């Protein structure tokens, strides 16, 4: 057995790869795997290339992780080239779980397509979703080395149309209380486009309810969430986010507490709401096939069924209806951790910090978590009281996107007061450049408290769910994973000018979008229609391209042809759904491009279309002081409406530039961009 074997894999699959290596070594094969052959200080790239060139057999571990690694795809590409040129050279593919063409990211589409075509033709060894090296799989590996494969063909990528989960079927568990089964989902099971629409949680309050010109502001301040008009607005707001997240992602995660407490969601399983049976059946089908995943958070939330009424449920009548649904539908559920018991202290710490509900009991719990002695506790309580006075405003109002505009309440303000040293000229943002002030007591503990409040309590546990930066509005969070990310880099006006000019050249997109007609508005959609839309072939292509774009290289690159193709697929998927319903209703609709430029917490909407060319600014837009964060989103609105109706659109906002840390220049640079846009597009300023 003189074959020299090279193992190509992603380090995220190291357990599987090393298991294969150990097995082959026991069979007396000469195996090269980088974790065992590269010592500290050597040039790893050169060593890998040398090992690849001297091997006569390559084991390529194909998984959802490896197909997104440029270096792995490069190694496979080189191996394919050698196999075409050298008769004795062999490639053996070991496939973990399921893979899909849209997940391949190499930076060279031609290379990706060649690898995909090769995988469709060659035989392979199949492992389960966790890459388990079983006796059967070891026998298959030996058969592969001896040229006796058990599969007659290559990977059938078309079967991906029939599943939601990219890594195979999650574990099925029987629930005695519900007398039905459910599936335990892990973060590794989630699809690349998985959203957590936090706007469906009642803790969020839309900006428009509490804005100074809102008719609902007075009602909310007087009656709070009990106001009927506020509730109606919230229901509409939540339904919009539910529909949008289902239209633009393969999966969504809903907190079970939100399902129980949200009146808009209760209608899908409670009999005393006005939803039709078809709507309820559609919702149940999304739970049944894993498109909607139920998030379980509490200590006793180990199954979707509710054996004991939780304290947080304000809608007790919904529990019985929900339990009835659990007995009929085998739904998919996810937790922070299925394997280990919940750390109650950690859970309580997160819960109280998130709500900033500081009281005696909470303070004692926090002090116990940090292990303070009696003297330290008293000093700690004093500081917490000071913070409590600083955050006197209602938590729900602060948590809606206005927090960054409330003086003394931003995270930066907290950091300056209780955590960090005075800011330096080189690092103006204390959050991004956290240099502890050793003279400030409990600086590390207070940082933990503040960070927990200003970040989601869920997202650290999932690799694929949406993140919520402090300056992003809750209605935008569901789509955060779908932003076209272009990495962190200082960008000059020439690059931005190129980006915008390339996009404005193509007027055909306008005509494509016009074909949607009245379906442009979210009010035209319901749950039954959403399910039909998700079954269309064009929608599957749309999601695949969206996932490919999302997972590609993070370096600065603008390819508006991909955005054009994305829009074309989305429009075709909507038209396909309309044809299935024989819907002939039409209405006048003139699309408008909108570029939303965000510098720090300031937002500028740039509206551009054939008839209306205007630039709208939010109050105080030119008072941004040395902000070091800039993003540009591309959205689509309606130019026939005075307000552009972006909030009513079914299109996702696509982030075409994201400079999180290295953007410098502040107000002057913002004005430079604005001047360029005005000159380029003939905009009109509206103050």
For residue 280, pLDDT beyond 90: yes
pLDDT mean over 140-165: 65
pLDDT mean over 274-288: 90
Residue 227 has a CB neighbour count (10 Å cut-off) of 18
Q: pLDDT (tens digit, 9 = 90+) per residue, 325-340?
A: 999 999 999 887 776 5
Two tokens, residue 631? 């993003």
For residue 12, pLDDT beyond 50: yes
Which of the two residues, 23 and 431, has the higher pLDDT score?
Answer: 23
**Residues 563-579 as b or e (16 or more Cβ within 10 Å = b):** beebbbbbbbbbbbbbe
Given a contact cutoff of 8 angstroms between Cβ atoms, the answer to whether 459 and 453 are in contact is: no
- Classified as helix, coil or strand, 466 is coil
Two tokens, residue 620? 């105080």
Q: Nearest-CA neighbor of 175 among 336, 338, 326, 339?
A: 326
408: left (phi over 0), alpha (psi -120 to 50) or beta: left
For residue 626, pLDDT beyond 60: no
pLDDT mean over 295-322: 77
- Helix/strand number for the chain, H first, E second: 25, 17
Two tokens, residue 476? 């935008």
| Unique residue bearing structure tokens 């690898």 | 115
Run of H or E including 54: helix 44-54
Starting at the earlier edge strand, list the strands of the sheet with 685-686: 654-659, 630-638, 591-599, 602-608, 613-617, 685-686
| Unique residue bearing structure tokens 């759904």 | 577
Q: pLDDT (tens digit, 9 = 90+) per residue, 629-655?
A: 556 666 777 766 655 666 677 877 665
Which of the two residues, 219 and 8, has the higher pLDDT score?
Answer: 8
Q: Nearest-CA neighbor of 658 among 520, 554, 545, 561?
A: 554
**Cα(339)–Cα(334) distance, rounded to whole angstroms?**
12
Residue 7's DSSP bridge partners are 59
Side-chain half-sphere CA neighbours of 264 within 13 A = 22
Secondary-structure breakdown of the chain: helix, strand, coil percentages, each rounded to the nearest 5: 50, 15, 40
Two tokens, residue 113? 């397509």
- Classified as helix, coil or strand, 655 is strand
pLDDT of residue 530: 92
pLDDT of residue 110: 82
Given a contact cutoff of 8 angstroms between Cβ atoms, the answer to whether 332 and 293 are in contact is: yes
- Weakest-pLDDT range from 116-130, 145-159, 173-187, 277-291: 145-159
Extents of the domains making up the chain: 4-159, 171-335, 344-457, 483-686
- Classified as helix, coil or strand, 584 is coil
**Cα(359)–Cα(3) distance, rounded to whole angstroms?**
69
For residue 355, pLDDT beyond 50: yes
Percentage above 90 pLDDT, the chain: 7
pLDDT of residue 268: 92
Which of the two residues, 232 and 326, has the higher pLDDT score?
Answer: 326
Residue 58's DSSP bridge partners are 6, 91
**Cα(75)–Cα(60) distance, rounded to whole angstroms?**
9
Long-range contacts, stretch 379-387, CB < 8 angstroms, 24+ apart: 379/441, 379/442, 380/441, 380/442, 380/445, 383/418, 383/441, 383/442, 383/446, 384/358, 385/358, 387/356, 387/358, 387/414, 387/418, 387/446
Confidence of residue 367 (pLDDT cuts 50, 70, 90): confident
Residue 179 has a CB neighbour count (10 Å cut-off) of 10
For residue 172, pLDDT beyond 90: no
**Cα(538)–Cα(577) distance, rounded to whole angstroms?**
9
Two tokens, residue 403? 């927090």
Q: pLDDT (tens digit, 9 = 90+) per residue, 193-208?
A: 777 776 776 656 666 6
Q: Which residues contact 646 (CB under 8 A, 6 or more apart)?
A: 594, 605, 635, 636, 637
Write the DSSP assignment of 412-465 as a string of letters. Answer: HHHHHHHTBPPPPSS---TTTS--B-TTSTTHHHHHHHHHHHHS-SSGGG-SSS
CATH 2.40.50.140 holds for 4-159: no
Report the DSSP pairing between strands 90-96 and 57-62: parallel
Averaging pLDDT over each range in 77-81, 419-423, 451-455, 662-666, which range is the top one? 77-81
Q: pLDDT (tens digit, 9 = 90+) per residue, 573-620?
A: 998 888 776 555 555 667 776 766 665 545 566 666 555 445 454 444
Q: pLDDT (tens digit, 9 = 90+) per residue, 530-548?
A: 999 998 878 887 887 776 6
For residue 421, pLDDT beyond 70: yes
pLDDT mean over 402-422: 62
Q: Nearest-CA neighbor of 533 among 583, 584, 577?
A: 577
pLDDT of residue 59: 92
Q: pLDDT (tens digit, 9 = 90+) per residue, 22-75?
A: 888 888 889 988 864 444 445 666 778 888 888 999 999 998 778 878 888 889
For residue 286, pLDDT beyond 90: yes
**Cα(362)–Cα(348) distance, rounded to whole angstroms?**
9
Q: Average pLDDT over the chain, rounded to whole?
A: 70
Distance from chain centroid for Cα 53: 39
């Amino acid at each position: 057995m003189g074959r020299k074997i090279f193992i190509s894999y992603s380090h995220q699959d190291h357990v599987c790869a090393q298991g294969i290596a150990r097995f082959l070594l026991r069979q007396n094969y000469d195996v090269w795997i980088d974790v065992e052959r590269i010592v500290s200080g050597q040039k790893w790239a050169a060593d890998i290339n040398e090992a690849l060139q001297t091997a006569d057999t390559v084991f390529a571990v194909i998984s959802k992780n490896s197909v997104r690694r440029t270096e792995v795809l490069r190694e496979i590409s080189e191996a394919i080239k050698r196999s075409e040129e050298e008769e004795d050279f062999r490639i053996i593919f070991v496939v973990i779980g399921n893979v899909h063409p849209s997940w391949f990211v190499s930076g060279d589409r031609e290379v990706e397509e060649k690898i995909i075509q090769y995988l469709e033709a060659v035989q392979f060894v199949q492992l389960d979703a966790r890459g388990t090296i079983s006796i059967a799989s070891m026998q298959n590996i030996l058969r592969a080395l001896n040229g006796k494969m058990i599969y007659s063909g290559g990977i059938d990528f078309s079967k991906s149309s029939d599943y939601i989960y990219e890594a195979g079927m999650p574990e099925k568990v029987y629930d005695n209380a519900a007398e039905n089964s459910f599936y335990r989902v892990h973060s590794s099971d989630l699809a690349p486009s998985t959203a957590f629409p936090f706007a469906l949680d009642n803790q969020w309050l839309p900006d428009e309810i509490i804005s100074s010109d809102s008719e609902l502001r007075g009602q909310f301040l007087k009656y709070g969430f009990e106001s009927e008009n506020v509730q109606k607005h919230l229901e509409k707001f939540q339904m919009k986010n539910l529909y949008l997240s289902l239209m633009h992602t393969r999966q969504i995660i809903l907190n079970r507490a939100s399902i129980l407490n949200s009146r808009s969601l209760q209608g899908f399983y409670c009999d005393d709401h006005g939803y039709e049976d078809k709507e309820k059946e559609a919702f149940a089908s999304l739970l049944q096939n894993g498109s909607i995943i139920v998030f379980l958070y509490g200590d006793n939330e180990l199954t979707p069924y509710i054996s004991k009424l939780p304290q947080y449920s304000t809608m007790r009548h919904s529990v019985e209806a929900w339990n009835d649904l659990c007995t009929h539908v085998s739904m998919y559920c996810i937790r922070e951790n299925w394997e280990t018991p919940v750390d109650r202290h950690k859970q309580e710490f997160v819960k109280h910090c998130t709500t900033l509900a500081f009281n005696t009991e909470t303070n004692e719990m926090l002090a116990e978590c940090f292990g303070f002695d009696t003297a330290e506790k008293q000093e700690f309580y004093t500081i917490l009281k000071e913070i409590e006075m600083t955050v006197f405003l209602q938590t729900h109002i602060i948590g809606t996107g206005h927090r960054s505009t409330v003086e003394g309440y931003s995270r930066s303000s907290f950091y300056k007061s209780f955590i960090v040293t005075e800011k330096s000229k080189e690092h103006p943002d204390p959050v991004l450049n956290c240099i502890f002030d050793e003279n400030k007591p409990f600086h590390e503990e207070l940082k933990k408290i503040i960070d927990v409040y200003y970040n989601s309590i869920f997202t650290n546990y999932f690799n694929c769910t949406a993140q919520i930066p402090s300056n992003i509005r809750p209605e935008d969070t569901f789509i955060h994973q779908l932003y076209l990310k272009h990495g962190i880099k200082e960008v000059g006006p020439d690059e931005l000018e190129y980006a915008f000019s390339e996009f404005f050249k193509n007027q055909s997109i306008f005509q494509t979008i016009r074909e949607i007609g009245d379906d442009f508005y979210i009010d035209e959609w319901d749950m039954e229609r959403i399910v039909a839309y998700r079954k269309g072939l064009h929608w599957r292509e749309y999601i695949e391209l969206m996932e490919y774009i999302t997972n590609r290289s993070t370096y600065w690159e603008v390819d508006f042809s991909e955005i054009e193709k994305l829009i074309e697929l989305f429009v075709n998927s909507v038209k396909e759904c309309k044809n299935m319903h024989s819907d002939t209703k039409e209405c006048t609709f003139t699309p408008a491009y909108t570029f939303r430029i965000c510098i720090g917490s300031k937002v500028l909407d740039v509206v551009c279309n054939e008839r209306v060319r205007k630039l709208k600014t939010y109050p105080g837009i030119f008072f941004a002081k040395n902000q070091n964060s800039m993003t540009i989103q591309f959205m689509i609105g309606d130019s026939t409406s005075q307000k552009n109706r972006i909030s009513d659109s079914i299109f996702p906002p696509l982030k075409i530039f994201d400079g999180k840390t290295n953007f410098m220049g502040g107000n002057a640079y913002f004005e430079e961009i604005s001047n360029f846009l005005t000159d380029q597009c003939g905009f009109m300023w509206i103050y």
